Amino acid sequence: MRVLQRAVGFFCVGLSVLISAPAVAHPHIYIDTGLQMQFDDEGRLAAIRVVWVYDAFYSMLLLEEMGLDPDFTGTVTEEERATLAGFDMDWIEGYEGDLYLLQGERALALSGPMDWTADVQDGRIISTHIRALQERVEPGPEPVILQAYDPTYYTAYTIAIDPVIEGRTDCDARIFEPDFSAASEILESALAEMLAQPGYDELEDFPAVGAAFADEIRLTCGA
């Protein structure tokens, strides 16, 4: 039901964008996301294990490009799985991995990706990786906020997998969805401003509105 509601929301936003600006419809890739919060022995948040489940269409295109699953079985062999592993982990400098952590107003820095895996199930590519916190923190009643989004909104992330907490039993992680009406207004206004500029380039100049569409997890611990 949650995924269906999100799909309807994206359809409505996409329709409004197509009406006002047919050449710049976003997003292009859809990823169901899971976040697993890992605590150390001292009760500090130490790392986030990220799960990305790519949409079926993008998965099909990528598998075809890589020459994997030529028989369209919706799965891969062990050899093909080894070839696929790490396909999305060669990050350019400055890329934040589309994952942002906040404690209050302070951004929490993360390492690059580690211990990645990849697989194909039912025709969809599933990749995982771990991001370590550069400075471990201990959440309390004030939440640590985890947001999954692409600032350029080329990729749309949905936290569709229930959060997992490892290493503590007194913590709670709740998913909050964005206000789609407000987000679509921000997008339409930003697009109108972009389209008014002569010689705009969709890829280079597309407004950074991804945060407005971001799902987030609010992690709290203790009484």
Distance CA 88, CA 52 (A): 10
pLDDT at residue number 189: 75
The DSSP secondary structure of 4-21, one letter per residue, reads HHHHHHHHHHHHHHHHH-
- Lowest mean pLDDT across 33-47, 132-146, 150-164, 198-212: 198-212
Residue range 28-72, pLDDT digits in tens: 999 999 999 999 999 999 999 999 999 999 999 999 999 999 988
Q: Count of domains in the chain?
A: 1
pLDDT at residue number 205: 54
pLDDT-derived band at 197 (thresholds 50, 70, 90) equals confident
Higher pLDDT, 82 or 208: 82
Domain of residue 210, residue span = 2-221
pTM of the predicted model, to two decimals?
Answer: 0.82
Residue range 103-118, pLDDT digits in tens: 998 999 999 999 999 9
109 DSSP assignment: P
CA distances from 208 to 24, 41, 154 (A): 13, 38, 10
Q: In the predicted model, is pLDDT for residue 85 greater than 80? A: yes
